[in-house]
Amino acid sequence: MERILMAHGSGGRLSHELITSLFQKYLGNSFLNQMNDATILPGQEQLAITTDSFVVSPLFFRGGNIGRLAVCGTVNDLAVSGAAPMFLSLALILEEGLPIAELEQIIQSIAETAKEANIAIVCGDTKVVERGSADKLFINTTGIGYVSRTLVNPQQIQPGDVILVTGTIGDHEIAILSEREGLEFETPVTSDCAPLNGLIDCFFQTGVKCMRDPTRGGVATTLNELAQQGGVCMLLDEEALPILPGVKGACDMLGLDPLYLANEGKALVIVKPEAAETILHKMHSHPLGQGAAQIGVVMEGKPGLVLLKTPLGGKRILGMLEGEHLPRIC
């Protein structure tokens, strides 16, 4: 009776339910249960490992393509886990009929991005499936990195800590959406897709407690996860959110909330209050951190609760991404 819905893959509440009720239930172990972007493996030299699959449509979009995305996604999961990304696997599932020229363009892009991220592609695999069994091209990448710095886990997040984001939010999803649906906004939006390890190297210092990349489900869903894992309450300031006018305009038109839109080149960084200013300053000195901003604080309060302070001064609960934003006004 129950079946997989698209929302099970959206990174929102249903994705979470799937993870806890199925994957964790059957596969759970001390590694998987870290429930972080990358898993830290024990050993003389601590390793971090992560894997991700990429199924974006369209393959090419303003600011990137599926290849660049496949490198960045895995690199970023390692980087926000405190690891220096080292090795990458590359598995391709190709649909019969995919133009070789497109594939070549994507592979070139993978090479460039890997270079930019300073990571080596060390193994790979290719499968071709019949027309209709896949949508043009799916990519899976697994990344391994050396743990280069100790990050505190979400349990250490404390009231008083400060929430930073490394730049404008929602760019990626609006770029993809306008490309896919042929929406021509007055100010076109470019995906933020980029490897973050360089930026993180630039600003990292003591006082950084936790980092996450707010991909599917956006800033709101990612912070919900952190607030839950850390047993804390968070308060965001709507007026402090860095949002490009083009993204804002698109959201107003379509009735979308930028806090729930996917990013592919941004990190949420939770820091000790005394370190916030320096870290923010360092972020601003890096090309990928130009739009960095303090967007909120960690507070005493109901564990797992994420609130948004609106420009009128009231607060609103930011839940996890639900299936869709069904109208509520009666």
Nearest to 107 by CA among 126, 84, 82: 126
For Mg ion, give the closer residue by CB, 92 or 279: 92
DSSP code of 18? H
For Fe ion, give the closer residue by CB, 101 or 330: 330
Binding flag, residue 330, other proteins (CB under 8 A): yes
Give the residue closest to Mg ion by C-beta: 52
DSSP code of 20? I
SS3 label, residue 315: strand
For Mg ion, give the closer residue by CB, 13 or 212: 212
Sorted by sequence, the CB contacts under 8 Å of residue 14 that are 6+ apart come out as 5, 7, 8, 323
SS3 label, residue 287: helix
- What mask, x for binding Fe ion by CB under 5 A, covers residues 271 to 310? ----------------------------------------
Binding flag, residue 115, other proteins (CB under 8 A): no
Binding flag, residue 100, Fe ion (CB under 5 A): no
Alpha helices, DSSP H only, in 21-128?
Answer: 24-27, 66-80, 100-117
End-to-end Cα separation, the chain, in angstroms = 32
Interstrand relation of 208-212 and 162-165 (parallel, antiparallel or unpaired): unpaired
Cβ proximity of 259 and 218 under 8 Å: yes
Q: Determine the Cα–Cα distance for residues 287 and 142; give it in Å rounded to an integer.
A: 27
Q: How far is CA 206 from CA 74, 165, 268, 276, in A?
A: 24, 17, 16, 11
Nearest to 84 by CA among 145, 142, 38, 149: 145
Owner of token pair 């393509």: 65
For Fe ion, give the closer residue by CB, 131 or 328: 328
Say which entry of Fe ion, other proteins, Mg ion, none residue 329 contacts (CB below 5 to 8 A, set by partner kind).
Answer: other proteins
Binding flag, residue 188, other proteins (CB under 8 A): no
For other proteins, give the closer residue by CB, 72 or 227: 227
Q: Determine the Cα–Cα distance for residues 72 and 132; give it in Å rounded to an integer.
A: 27
Give the interface segment with Fe ion, choosing from 1-9, 237-245, 267-275, 322-330 (CB under 5 A): 322-330
Among 254, 283, 295, 298, binds other proteins (CB under 8 A): 254
For Fe ion, give the closer residue by CB, 312 or 329: 329
Among 115, 127, 281, 315, binds other proteins (CB under 8 A): 315
* Window 77-96: residues binding Fe ion (CB under 5 A): none
Binding flag, residue 2, other proteins (CB under 8 A): no
Binding flag, residue 1, other proteins (CB under 8 A): no
Binding flag, residue 312, other proteins (CB under 8 A): yes
Say which entry of Mg ion, Fe ion, other proteins, none residue 52 contacts (CB below 5 to 8 A, set by partner kind).
Answer: Mg ion
Binding flag, residue 77, Mg ion (CB under 5 A): yes
Q: Determine the Cα–Cα distance for residues 10 and 124; give it in Å rounded to an integer.
A: 27
Residues of this chain that bind Fe ion (CB under 5 A): 330
Residues of this chain that bind other proteins (CB under 8 A): 177, 181-186, 252-256, 307, 310, 312-317, 319, 322-330
